[in-house]
Amino acid sequence: MPTESLAAMFESDIAQHRLRPLDVALARFLAERDNAAPAPLLWLGALLSRQLADGHLCLDIDALDALADEQQWPFPWRTLLRRVQEDVGTWRSPLIADAKGQPTAAPLVRDGSRLYLRRYWNHECHVAAAIRERLARPHELPLQLADELQRLFPSNGKNPVEAVHDTAPLHWQKIACALAARSAFSVITGGPGTGKTTTVVRLLGLLQTLHLREHARPLRIRLAAPTGKAAERLSASIVAQLTTLDVDTDARTAIPTQVDTLHRLLGSRPDTRRFRHDRANPLHLDVLVIDEASMIDLEMMSAVLSALPATARLILLGDKDQLSSVEAGAVLGDLCRRAQGGHYDDATAQWLKATTGEDVSPFVTADANALDQQVAMLRHSHRFDAGSGIGRLAAAVNMGDASAVHALLTTATTDVIWEPSATPSHLVDLAIDGRSHAQDDSSDANACGHRHYLEQLRRQRPTDDAGNDAHDAWALDTLRAFNRFQLLCALRRGPYGVEGLNRQIAEALQARGLIEGRLAGVGPGHANEGWYEGRPVMVTRNDYSLGLSNGDVGICLRFPDGEGGARLAVAFPASTTPGARGSTHVRRILPSRLNDVATAYAMTVHKSQGSEFEHTLLALPPDPGPLLTRELLYTGITRARRWFTLAGSEEIIELATRQQTRRYSGLAERLGGC
Ligand SMILES: Nc1ncnc2c1ncn2[C@@H]1O[C@H](COP(=O)(O)OP(=O)(O)OP(=O)(O)O)[C@@H](O)[C@H]1O
């Protein structure tokens, strides 16, 4: 560290949680490389590292004043900020390079007003260039496209058209399919149940049908999703859609139902960030569909684009309004910034009219760019009807309309329940007995809590001599029952966070006789929390040797050991058998082999992405904080299929509805000019 005062300031920053030790380590590394580096530059390095941890790709020097106010920076930081603003253009240090200057290996890159770590700047430039290249490449238009589109998306009322405000109703699914058919790159975004999977299955049917007519072999199609859970859900959804897909058997059977995680698709290797498939060893495929694309961070997107053959087609599906990836970047959000308004050009509008019969002229603008032409937003939910509280609440949150949110919460609906003053112990009761607040008449369909799967587990336990298949079926049923309910938290720590609530729920379940055994140190995610039957766990790190992905959920169960005794094993749903709906069998893994797992009575909203539950309870803390955002609330609400319970005060819900996540990145700007 060059000056003692900077070192002392960093020490206090760590103590006050303004910076992490890792951020200061980066500043130290920079100081070692240039011992004449100005202090404000070292401080910027530490600040940049901190911002990356919050998902930003860069620091926007022009926006630092706003950040200072938002984060209530202390006096020494404000002094350094002034020096940055005065001197930034004059720094001559081997630590920082200008993006437009001679190439160097400087660890920091300044691109206009943005400051990047070189690695992220490289990724951002690569992703933008690779997408621009794909958008610019002329793609052979499938012959008979219009006829096939008309057959798969008839406009005769069989498929409801999608209304949008006061413009003429448009069949956005047909439009999305047509746009994806004409290019090597496309994005289909939409909220829950808007038909993203339906559209892509028809697109694959169409592409396969037309390809088989012209060529001897089918297209090589691969499907992927960021997490195992999302992959499993997409697979089940595709299996269901294929049963009604109106194409020839040859085309239908050439559509895969197997969905890989992105890590598996690219071939992750232990102890390295590099994948087996890359530019030198590209994937063998013609079409790649990636679902839940909002969870893809910039580095992963860069890896996907590197491994994709130049001629292959990439189709991204996802909900642009959901929380972004945990890692830095908000790729789908950046790609879809203008999706709401369409921003088509005249050529696209004319082509769509001729090919689909749909008139998108209300969505034509003069400032259209190449990316806009390949983005389609589905706008009508087929899952939530107009009267659904969940659907209306999600829409109101998405629009940032706090008074509509409040009105919906205080109006009786059958599917939304509001708990304005739930204490942690009240949350524990709700998580166990969820049903006390159910407002549905049919007794079987009550919104349940965790009690449900624990009671079912006992009720349905096969006899010891029932055999492996019967025990696996029981384990699978238990996993399905567990999946009916989930408690989601905004925070990890504190009494309203995942760790505190997991501990309290386990203790309460034990006190009520719903679980047995040790609860040694139930708390932060360590494998030594104590294993007992019924303990649900989430994998917190990919384990390639066990074939488990970060986010996989299993349940610890007691199985006969074949020698008259019993032993605990954790049952995980096994990857889907092609052609089957959902997981059909389980894998049993001994607890001693699981190193990175955490108890999962409660999970963060982030971790729940890609999953859905019949009943979701979202617990908001009583105090304001930067994590309470519109995207978090929206993502939590849209995890619920039938019932949604929201625990949080009116003030906190209003704050979250108004507070939007902002991620600093230059990707949208780089693509805006394409
Ligand atoms: N045009 C349509 N007409 C009638 N039903 C439709 C239409 N499109 C989709 N659906 C139905 O709506 C439901 C949701 O569709 P789908 O799974 O394709 O949506 P999604 O956007 O992929 O949902 P998710 O939120 O799970 O990602 C399905 O039951 C599907 O059959």
- Region 495-511: mean pLDDT is 92
pLDDT band at 101 (very low <50, low <70, confident <90, very high): confident
Residue whose Cα lies nearest atom 15 of ligand 1: it is 195
pLDDT at 480 over 70: yes
In sequence order, which residues have a C-beta less than 8 Å from that of residue 553 and are 6 or more positions away?
A: 229, 479, 482, 483, 536, 537, 538, 539, 572, 600
- Region 439-459: mean pLDDT is 73
pLDDT at 162 over 70: no
The per-residue b/e assignment along 142-174, b for 16 or more CB within 10 angstroms, e otherwise, is: beebeebbeebbeeeeebebbebeeeeebbbbb
Q: For the chain, give the mean pLDDT.
A: 87
- Cα→Cα distances 154→143, 211, 357, 448, 672, Å: 18, 21, 11, 40, 34
Contact 273, 208 (CB under 8 A): no
Which of residues 214 and 622 earns the better pLDDT score?
Answer: 622
pLDDT in tens, 588-608: 999 999 989 999 999 999 999
pLDDT at 379 over 70: yes
- Region 116-126: mean pLDDT is 93
pLDDT at 525 over 70: no
pLDDT at 440 over 80: no
- Specify the pLDDT at position 292: 93
Q: Distance, CA 221 to ligand 1 centroid (Å)?
A: 21
Distance separating alpha carbons of residues 7 and 576, to the nearest angstrom: 54
pLDDT at 583 over 70: no
- Specify the pLDDT at position 575: 60
- Region 107-115: mean pLDDT is 90
- Specify the pLDDT at position 157: 46
Residue with token string 């766990």: 537
Q: Is 193 in the pocket of ligand 1 (CB under 6 A)?
A: yes
- Give the pairing of strands 597-599 and 536-539: antiparallel
Phi, psi of 570 (to 5 degrees): -95, 120
Q: Distance, CA 371 to ligand 1 centroid (Å)?
A: 25
Q: Distance, CA 541 to ligand 1 centroid (Å)?
A: 31
Q: Is 237 in the pocket of ligand 1 (CB under 6 A)?
A: yes
- The minimum-distance atom of ligand 1 relative to the CA of 244 is 31
Residue of 292, 294, 383, 398 to test ligand 1 pocket, by largest number of atoms within 8 Å of CB: 383
- Specify the pLDDT at position 582: 53
pLDDT in tens, 192-246: 889 999 999 999 999 999 899 888 899 999 999 998 888 888 998 999 999 889 8
pLDDT at 50 over 50: yes
pLDDT at 540 over 50: yes
Q: Distance, CA 240 to ligand 1 centroid (Å)?
A: 11
- Region 314-328: mean pLDDT is 89
Residue numbering of the annotated binding site:
190-197
- The minimum-distance atom of ligand 1 relative to the CA of 198 is 18
- Region 85-92: mean pLDDT is 82
pLDDT at 439 over 50: no
pLDDT in tens, 4-43: 788 888 888 898 888 999 999 999 999 888 888 888 889 9
Q: State what percent of residues in the chain have pLDDT above 70.
A: 92
Sign of the Cα pseudo-torsion (190, 196, 198, 204, in order): positive
Distance separating alpha carbons of residues 42 and 58, to the nearest angstrom: 15
- Region 308-325: mean pLDDT is 92
Tell me how far apart the terminal alpha carbons of the chain are, to the nearest angstrom: 43
Q: Model ipTM?
A: 0.98
Q: Is 139 in the pocket of ligand 1 (CB under 6 A)?
A: no
Q: Distance, CA 407 to ligand 1 centroid (Å)?
A: 28
Its pTM stands at 0.87
In sequence order, which residues have a C-beta less than 8 Å from that of residue 403 and are 6 or more positions away?
A: none
- Specify the pLDDT at position 160: 47
Count CB atoms within 10 A of the CB of residue 641: 18
The number of angstroms, rounded, from the C-alpha of 351 to the middle of its chain's C-alpha atoms is 33
Residue of 153, 189, 239, 382 to test ligand 1 pocket, by largest number of atoms within 8 Å of CB: 382
Is 662 exposed, middle or buried, given 0-12, 13-18 or 19+ CB atoms closer than 10 A? middle
Phi, psi of 517 (to 5 degrees): 90, -175
- The minimum-distance atom of ligand 1 relative to the CA of 173 is 1
pLDDT at 524 over 60: no
Q: Distance, CA 199 to ligand 1 centroid (Å)?
A: 8
pLDDT at 142 over 80: no
- The minimum-distance atom of ligand 1 relative to the CA of 378 is 21
- Region 153-181: mean pLDDT is 71
- The minimum-distance atom of ligand 1 relative to the CA of 292 is 27
Contact 621, 496 (CB under 8 A): yes
Residue whose Cα lies nearest atom 1 of ligand 1: it is 159
Q: State what percent of residues in the chain have pLDDT above 90.
A: 55
pLDDT at 584 over 70: no
- Specify the pLDDT at position 559: 93
- Specify the pLDDT at position 588: 93
Distance separating alpha carbons of residues 210 and 194, to the nearest angstrom: 26
Contact 500, 493 (CB under 8 A): yes
pLDDT at 163 over 50: no
